[in-house]
Amino acid sequence: MASLEQYQELVAATQNLTVQVQALRTENVALRQQVVLHRDDHGDLPPMSLSFGKYDGHPGGLKDFLDACKVYFTFRPHAYETARARFGFIIANLSGNALSWATPLVTGNDPALNDYNRFVDTFKERFDRPEVLYTSLEAILDVRQGTTDVQT
C-alpha cells in the first residue's frame, strides 16, 4: 500500500503533467493558426507558386490555370481572402504574353483590379480562346510535305 508521501508525490506529478499538457494545447492552437494562415514566424506569406508552373497565355490553358488558382485559394482562405491578394497570386504565376498583358493593368491601376470577378472576365476575354487552339491543331494536322502528310 502506498504511503501518504507517495500519494502526494503522485498528485504533484499529475498536476505537473496537467500543466504541461495545457501548455502543449496552447502551443498546438498557435501552430494550427500559423498553418491555417500559412504564415511563417515573421508573418510573411510563403513563396506564391503553383506546382505545375506559370501560365504564359497559351490558348487552351487558361481554364486549367484558373481552376488551379481556385483550388489554391480554397486551401488557403485566410491568405487569399481579398481580391488584391488573389490578383497578386495570379500575377505572380504569369509569364510570357500573360505577364506582358497583366503588367499595364497593375501599373495603370486598371479598374478591373477592384473586382476579382471583373478581372477574371477580362483575363478570359483576352486568353480564353479555344478556337485559336483548335485552329492551330487543325493547321498542324493539315501540314503536308509534297503530296504526303507529315505523319506519313
Q: How confident is the model at residue 40 (pLDDT cuts 50, 70, 90)?
A: very low
**Which residues are 149's β-sheet partners?**
144
Alpha-carbon dihedral 87, 119, 135, 68, rounded to 10 degrees:
40
Chain segment 102-148, per-residue pLDDT in tens: 888 888 888 777 888 888 888 888 888 655 444 555 556 566 666 66
pLDDT of 81: 84
Using CA atoms, how far apart are residues 63 and 58, in angstroms rounded to an integer? 11
Q: Going along the chain, which residue ranges are E strands?
A: 144-145, 148-149
Chain segment 62-105, per-residue pLDDT in tens: 888 898 888 888 888 888 888 888 888 888 889 998 999 888 88
pLDDT of 133: 46
Average pLDDT, the chain: 76
Q: How confident is the model at residue 47 (pLDDT cuts 50, 70, 90)?
A: low
The cell for 20 is 504541461
Residues 6+ apart with CB under 8 A from 93: 48, 49, 50, 54, 55, 65, 69
pTM of the model as a whole: 0.54
Q: How confident is the model at residue 50 (pLDDT cuts 50, 70, 90)?
A: low
Mean pLDDT value of segment 35-44: 50
Q: Give whole-number Cα distances, 68 to 72, 82, 106, 115, in Å.
A: 6, 17, 22, 19
pLDDT of 34: 58
Top pLDDT among 57 and 41 is at 57
The full set of domain ranges for the chain reads: 1-37, 62-136
Using CA atoms, how far apart are residues 79 and 37, in angstroms rounded to an integer? 6
Q: How confident is the model at residue 24 (pLDDT cuts 50, 70, 90)?
A: confident
Using CA atoms, how far apart are residues 99 and 65, in angstroms rounded to an integer? 14
CB 108 within 8 A of CB 42: no
Using CA atoms, how far apart are residues 29 and 116, in angstroms rounded to an integer? 32
Question: Cell 494545447 appears where?
Answer: 25
